[in-house]
Amino acid sequence: DVKVTQSSRYLVKRTGEKVFLECVQDMDHENMFWYRQDPGLGLRLIYFSYDVKMKEKGDIPEGYSVSREKKERFSLILESASTNQTSMYLCASRPTRLLTQYFGPGTRLLVL
Amino acid sequence: AQKVTQAQTEISVVEKEDVTLDCVYETRDTTYYLFWYKQPPSGELVFLIRRNSFDEQNEISGRYSWNFQKSTSSFNFTITASQVVDSAVYFCALGKAAGNKLTFGGGTRVLVKP
């Protein structure tokens, strides 16, 4: 079974704080993704990575950055959290040979 | 640009009723893929099915069935004899043949009452 884990299920941060969301997958997948999920909007892609140290912007990268130093780990960074970044954040991974993405349990982030 | 529309935001049914979730998509690609995911209250999206644009055969898996109609750009999902455990948010998604991007619909929340 594919296992994608996220470091926290719930996080509460203050405006202006630097926030790190961590994602780890154990299936040696080349591709990893960060989405945010908001009611009525579905999932929107923030960033993805197709290899170590490689990244590409998704649809809504503003206010976010990412880091992929190791194949199994993909970090999402909010340099200076703002209240409009309160959301559910979902990490996913997939192997290059398959099209299906596998998701982690999500992190609910509240920025006060 | 790709787009996925799930017009039903919430559906409420009584256990054992059938429920159909609509998904309409827009794409200019000739080769593409369609997905359904289930998100139970625990939050993790669970993969249900993937279809490619060349395969319009309907599919049945237990109580789940999918109706893909290219002529109407729809990929609808039916749960037969619904159960309380089917309560979740269901997402339809569209993917390109090449590349990593999935475009998700807004989701349909299904509530199955005992």
DSSP state letters, B25-82: EE-S-SSEEEEEEEE-TT---EEEEEEETT----EEETTEEEEEEGGGTEEEEEESS-
Query: Mean pLDDT throughout B73-97?
Result: 95
Q: In the prediction, which pLDDT does B42 show?
A: 86
How confident is the prediction for chain B on average, in pLDDT? 93
Query: Mean pLDDT throughout A85-108?
Result: 92
Q: Do B100 and A33 touch (CB under 8 A)?
A: yes
CA distance B16 to chain A (A): 27
Q: Do B42 and A100 touch (CB under 8 A)?
A: no
Over pLDDT 90: what percentage of chain A?
87
Q: Is the pLDDT of residue B73 over 90?
A: yes
Which of B35, B100, B109 is the best substitution to test chain A (most A C-beta atoms within 10 A)? B100
Report the Cα B84 to chain-centroid distance in Å: 18
Query: Mean pLDDT throughout B20-26?
Result: 97
Q: Do B45 and A100 touch (CB under 8 A)?
A: no
Q: Is the pLDDT of residue A106 over 90?
A: yes
Over pLDDT 90: what percentage of chain B?
77
Confidence of residue B57 (pLDDT cuts 50, 70, 90): confident
Q: Is the pLDDT of residue B64 over 70?
A: yes
How confident is the prediction for chain A on average, in pLDDT? 94
Q: Do the Cβ atoms of A20 and A77 come closer than 8 Å?
A: yes
